[in-house]
Amino acid sequence: MSETMRASRRGLGAGLRATAKVLPEHARAHNRALVLQHLFHEGPTSRADLARATSLTRVTISDLVNVLLAEGLVEELGVQPGRRVGKPAILVGMRTDAYQIVAVDLSDDAVMRGAVLTLTGEAVVRRSLAVEGRSGDDLVDLLTRFARGLLSAASRPVIGIGVGSPGIIDPSGRVVEAPNRAWFDLPLAGMLTDRLGLPVQVANDANTAALGEYTYGGAAGSMLVLTIGQGVGAGIMVDGARVHGAGDAAGELGHVTVVDGGEPCACGRRGCLETVLSVPALRKAVAGLDTEEADAVLAAAGRVLGTTLAPVVSALNLAEVLLSGPAELVDGALRQAATDTLRTRTMPAVAASLRLRMATLDEDVVLAGAAVLVLAAQLGVS
């Protein structure tokens, strides 16, 4: 890894897809992110077209490309085909296979899953490890060993490590609380960075899922990913930026009361969305029913979901709601009822531009999003 890559380890700020020029002191890192962002999403581009696309001068682009060439992040790919007029333009492309990312998904209570990914999100190595009931410091130690194993399995220099974890996690990667892991006020990203000697990003698993769907799954910039598993969580993006909220708990829809005096919840209250919509709750509700009866039960859960989401979707004018969970439970009567309920409970201007669909990245969604955490922090790409 070059010195410049090392210098950039602290990251380029929390912003995601860069779209406009900013203050001079941030300009260099920002411009670099603009160029990488364009190459990442649009593919090989000539310097002249990069200048046009980013509204930067040709001199600035030329300097930036020289730095990126020296870092090994981009390469020259020969002459642009089909151009007959003027000087032939040499295409510049991002070397998405030159570096790798290590990603870890902690969303499953029983198993930690990890992967070594290319910069374009393809998993080249996959590993998983039973958690065996570990929590607190023991779990941090296990996670450290697991990440070390993945690092040694990488076949290219690793630019960073991303971790998606349950719980409330602040932008610095400090776990405010993750009760099921016995993590409270734990500076997880800082600890792992010290132990592993590489930059580590940690974010809530549902937020991470939203990033994964945004960057690798083609989701809209204003959207919500609802993760339906042991619990229920949501990651929200508005206008291409992750929503953190005042206490870093944006998206915690799982513990909104939806049934007065309903089933007891793990949080100590009753009738939370999680008691209706989590996978264990849905499985229990449909157990022993025939298809028609099960569909009626799932549709009822879908109506509860639609009712819960309507004010959220309206307040934020979201373009998409993505459901991430077992298709046999979620992608049928439940999704249809949620869609119908959302449409009847929101004004046409909101409903017309709204799509409610299944997430596309399936069980890899948190891993993919953890990789995006690293891409965004190290390269300014998302």
Chain residues in the site for Zn ion (CB under 5 A): 255, 265, 267, 272
Question: Which residues make Cβ contacts (< 8 Å) with residue 182, sequence separation at least 6?
Answer: 135, 136, 139
The CA distance from 366 to 368, in Å, is 5
Minimum CB–partner distance for residue 256 and Zn ion (Å): 8
Minimum CB–partner distance for residue 70 and Zn ion (Å): 52
DSSP classification of residue 181: G
The CA distance from 140 to 79, in Å, is 50
Please choose, from the candidates 71, 69, 151, the residue with its C-alpha nearest in 3D space to the C-alpha of residue 104.
Answer: 151
Minimum CB–partner distance for residue 226 and Zn ion (Å): 15
Crossing angle of helices 24-42 and 365-379, rounded to 10°: 140
Minimum CB–partner distance for residue 184 and Zn ion (Å): 18
The CA distance from 310 to 347, in Å, is 10
Minimum CB–partner distance for residue 312 and Zn ion (Å): 17
Q: Is the CB of 130 or the CB of 267 nearer to Zn ion?
A: 267
Minimum CB–partner distance for residue 250 and Zn ion (Å): 17
Please choose, from the candidates 206, 213, 210, the residue with its C-alpha nearest in 3D space to the C-alpha of residue 361.
Answer: 213
Q: Is the CB of 253 or the CB of 372 nearer to Zn ion?
A: 253
- The residue type found at 381 is V
Minimum CB–partner distance for residue 272 and Zn ion (Å): 3
Q: Is the CB of 277 or the CB of 330 nearer to Zn ion?
A: 277
Q: Is the CB of 111 or the CB of 256 nearer to Zn ion?
A: 256
103 - beta bridge partners?
115, 162
The CA distance from 227 to 325, in Å, is 6
Q: Is the CB of 162 or the CB of 231 nearer to Zn ion?
A: 231
Q: Is the CB of 190 or the CB of 262 nearer to Zn ion?
A: 262
For residue 344, the SS3 value is: helix
In this structure, are residues 137 and 143 in contact, taking their beta carbons and an 8 Å threshold? Answer: no
Question: Parallel, antiparallel, or unpaired: how do β-strands 200-204 and 158-165 relate?
Answer: parallel
Q: Is the CB of 268 or the CB of 288 nearer to Zn ion?
A: 268
